[in-house]
Amino acid sequence: MNDWKARMQRSVRFLAEQLAGIRPGNLSPGFVETFRVQGPSGSVPLGRIAAVAAGRDRITVTPFDREGVPAIVRALVEAKLNAYALNPATICVGIPPLSGEQRAEFARHVKHLGEEAKVAVRSVRQEARKQIAARGKGSERAVQEATDAAVAEIDRLVKAKAAEFGA
């Protein structure tokens, strides 16, 4: 019966995880490691075939096997990242600064993710209310309080992330 609280918190945690991957003007090595590279044995995540390190203005990718450099460059370029082979054994991914328009777009995306999380929490609230009505036991007040707390946490997360983009 009380699984609705856990489901609401799961929605909030999922939003927090999504927002953690969005960084203004900062491309994280973890983000780059998730891209898949086509190799002779199939598609493999970049993190499994290369070491990825972050610098100030670029991310450096050093493949474990030098023969994989062209495939890695191709995969990163197809992902619309500014990637190029620095030397026969190293690949660089440039991180250009964000324009004002891109910052506004990221802020809109963050707000959209927040709205989706609120919809998920409200959906859980509706299901909990239906269960309470069907069983005749439980407190709708407790459901509403949990919903209010989850929505407040979502608003806090979205506001903090939007502030990072200057929106």
Distance, CA of 165 to CA of 82 (rounded, Å): 21
Q: Which CATH number fits domain 29-94: 3.30.1360.40, 3.40.50.1220, 3.40.50.800, 3.40.1160.10?
A: 3.30.1360.40
pTM: predicted TM-score of the whole model, two decimal places:
0.61
pLDDT at 25: 63
Per-residue pLDDT tens over the stretch 59-105: 899 999 888 888 888 888 887 777 888 888 899 888 767 677 777 87
Give the pLDDT band (50/70/90) at residue 31.
low
The Cα 38–Cα 47 span in angstroms is 13
Kindly state the DSSP code that residue 22 receives in the 8-state scheme.
-
Domain coordinates in residue numbering, the chain: 3-22+99-164, 29-94
- Mean pLDDT value across residues 1-20: 86
Domain 3-22+99-164: what homologous superfamily?
Answer: Ribosome-recycling factor (1.10.132.20)
* Residue-wise DSSP of 88-117: TTEEEEE-PPPPHHHHHHHHHHHHHHHHHH
Cα separation, 137 vs 92, whole angstroms: 60
**pLDDT band at residue 124 under the 50/70/90 scheme:** very high
